[in-house]
Amino acid sequence: MKAVIQRVTNARVTVDGEVTGEIGVGFLVLLGVTDEDTEKEMKLLAKKVAEIRIFTDENDKMNLSLDKVDGEVLVVSQFTLCADLSHGRRPSFIKSAKPDIANDLYMKFCEELRSLGVRKVATGVFGADMKVELLNDGPVTIVMNTDEWKK
């Protein structure tokens, strides 16, 4: 699984002009599911997201996790994170998981965040044309890839 985590002051996603997910302080997580991902990768990534310490403490050091700042998470599925550009200029999405598998792991990822204590987990609409708005705080953006943790 691949994720882009952005520390935000607020974020929201709209579909056809209607807000489908909205948060205050927390993370916007863009989530890509590959054809090799399983629940093992999903659980590992959810734990990392829930526990990453990228909020600043009283000494202005990145030392606080979501639970310490009463943070929220907006998770948006994004198969384009799985793009392969190794041949030519047009991306291939052959490594992206099939929609039914990707949606299942996406929903389980959101549930896993909730079970790990994230107080609010908002979502976009899987497979929809979404508009994402955010106020990136810092800016702080972290890229996670479970494939790299296997090495």
The residue range of the domain holding 46 is 2-143
Q: Considering 9, 38, 80, 141, which one is annotated as catalytic?
A: 80
Residue 67 lies in a domain: yes
Judge whether 52 lies within some domain.
yes
Tell me which of 79, 109, 123, 146 is the catalytic residue: 79
Decide: residue 148, CB within 10 A, 0-12 exposed, 13-18 middle, 19+ buried. Answer: exposed
CATH number of domain containing 33: 3.50.80.10
pTM score over 0.85: yes
- How many distinct structural domains can be found in the chain? 1
Neighbours of 1 (CB within 10 A): 26
In a domain, 148, yes or no: no
Instruction: Tell me if 21 is assigned to some domain.
Output: yes
78 catalytically annotated: yes
User: For 53-77, what is each residue's pLDDT tens digit?
Assistant: 999 999 999 999 999 999 999 999 9
Packed helices 39-51 and 99-115: angle between N→C axes, nearest 10 degrees: 40
Q: What is the pLDDT of residues 14-24, one digit of tens each?
A: 999 999 999 99
Number of C-beta neighbours around residue 66 at 10 A: 26
74 within a domain of the structure (yes/no):
yes
Identify whether 14 is a catalytic site residue.
no
- 79 belongs to the catalytic site: yes
